Amino acid sequence: MAEHLASIFGTEKDRVNCPFYFKIGACRHGDRCSRLHNRPTTSPTLLLSNMYQRPDMITPGVDPQGQPIDPRKIQEHFEDFYEDIFEELSKFGEIESLNVCDNLADHMIGNVYVQFREEDQAAAALQALQGRFYSGRPIIADFSPVTDFREATCRQFEENSCNRGGYCNFMHVKVIGKELRRKLFGSYRRFRGSRSRSRSASPRHRRDREFRDRDRDRDRDDHRDRNGRRPDRYDRDSGGRRKHGSPRRSRSPPPAREGSEERRARIEQWNREREEKV
């Protein structure tokens, strides 16, 4: 039974937990949902609800005065917001991904999802965002259960074939330009690349190190004689005298060890000599 419940957790078959909140961290029913919204107590991902205010909030492509807006101006407005948010949130740690929803439904419009590399980085950012404002509006931040954005995004939207438009229940993630992405995320890639290269030497460096070790071992062997002993640093003449030092001192063999009877005889002799002197 437990395995079955675990297998259907967060899916449409789960009648207890809300699958939409589990996948995208937001539900169109909100607190009125008949299923549970299990809010995480910690997560590497933060949700900043309804934070991005697009210039065509009322009607796509049209400003509040009813005038058409150049799409390039809309993209420029979004990328300025994206860069501003990225630079502020990156103060708390390395950002894995920063996604902004292009949906129009109330529970998803302007939602910003930021995923940090570590959970403690997200916790520090969450604490720092409490009570802050952006463009005159309070920032509503909380931990999000979303950790895999592949399950949260709309695949049809990525293929330009979503027939639900901005009211789709899955994320329609706004896309930034390549230059901005390279500017913001390129530093992380370069840092990771240099760190990974420093941890493991390249094949060429390993090969050079092996050659150096091999040459050092060969030089060490060349300085040993046939018996494996190191020769003296100084050359010697035919008489055994070292050319660059004092004559070599020959060691005398250690005296033979006396037996117990010999020691007793020597002690008796010492006693007799002592008595004669007295």
Structure tokens that stand for 53 in this block: 């205010």
> Residue 246 has what pLDDT?
44
> Residue 192 has what pLDDT?
56
Give me the helix-helix angle, 71-89 and 178-199, nearest 10°. 30
> Residue 186 has what pLDDT?
84
Nearest to 86 by CA among 135, 78, 108: 78
> Residue 163 has what pLDDT?
93
Ramachandran sector of residue 132 (left: φ over 0; alpha: ψ -120 to 50; beta: rest):
beta
257 exposure class (CB count in 10 Å sphere: 0-12, 13-18, 19+): exposed
> Residue 3 has what pLDDT?
59
* Cα atoms in the Cβ-side hemisphere of radius 13 Å centred on 171: 24
φ, ψ for residue 140, nearest 5 deg = -105, 105
Whether the CB-CB separation of 97 and 175 falls below 8 Å is answered with no
Domains detected in the chain: 37-190 (3.30.70.330)
| Strand-by-strand arrangement of the 95-100 sheet | 95-100, 112-116, 45-48, 141-143
Structure tokens that stand for 25 in this block: 């961290």
Q: What is the pLDDT along the chain (278 residues), one digit of tens a residue?
A: 555 545 555 566 667 888 889 889 999 998 899 898 989 999 999 999 999 998 888 788 888 888 899 999 999 999 999 999 999 999 999 999 999 999 999 999 999 999 999 999 999 999 999 999 999 999 999 999 999 999 899 999 989 899 998 899 999 999 999 999 999 988 665 555 544 444 444 444 444 444 445 455 555 544 455 455 544 443 444 444 444 444 444 555 555 555 566 766 777 777 777 777 66
